[in-house]
């Protein structure tokens, strides 16, 4: 999650990463805490792609102010790179932002609106971060 959010630790944020934390609902879970950092909507979309069951908590003054589950959007703009080298979004002379449509939930699949190339769930990490 930190890598796809482009957080290296050098930004000055206080970061805590906990893995395999006991959870009554999930059995085990991972926790990423980033102090003084609020997620932008496109960052929540990225998290939904790599951790579809994630829950985001907004904490202020040691109190949970907002809590929500991430939702995988139907349309993703500019977050995934199309794997098709001939797609218009990969042409340097054509400044076209990528656009993918979700075509399946289980298994998760996205289709490029421009060329029809499909990215499957197990390939998503390879194409996140245009």
CATH number 3.30.70.140 given to 15-69: yes
pTM of the model: 0.76
Gap between the Cα atoms of 42 and 5, Å rounded: 10
Mean pLDDT computed over every residue of the chain: 88
Residue-wise pLDDT for 21-52, tens only, equals 898 887 888 888 888 888 888 888 888 888 88
Residues of the chain with CATH 3.30.70.140: 15-69
Please tell me the distance from the alpha carbon of residue 4 to that of residue 125, in angstroms, as a whole number.
9
42 membership: H or E segment, kind and range: helix 41-50
Task: Please write the tens of the pLDDT for every residue from 119-129.
Answer: 999 999 899 87
What pLDDT does residue 8 have?
78
Residue ranges, comma separated, of all CATH 2.30.30.20 domains in the chain are 75-127
108 pLDDT band, cuts 50/70/90, is very high
């Amino acid at each position: 999650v930190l890598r796809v959010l482009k957080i290296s630790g050098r930004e000055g944020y206080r970061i805590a990463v906990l893995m395999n934390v006991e959870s009554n609902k999930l059995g085990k879970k991972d926790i990423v805490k980033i102090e003084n950092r609020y997620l932008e909507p496109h960052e929540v979309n990225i998290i939904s792609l790599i951790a579809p069951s994630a829950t985001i908590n907004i904490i202020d003054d040691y109190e949970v102010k907002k809590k929500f589950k991430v939702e995988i959007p139907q349309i993703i703009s500019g977050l995934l790179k199309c794997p098709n080298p001939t797609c218009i979004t990969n042409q340097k002379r054509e400044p076209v932002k990528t656009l993918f449509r979700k075509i399946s939930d289980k298994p998760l699949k996205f289709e490029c609106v421009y060329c029809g190339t499909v990215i499957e769930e197990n390939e998503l990490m390879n194409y996140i971060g245009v």
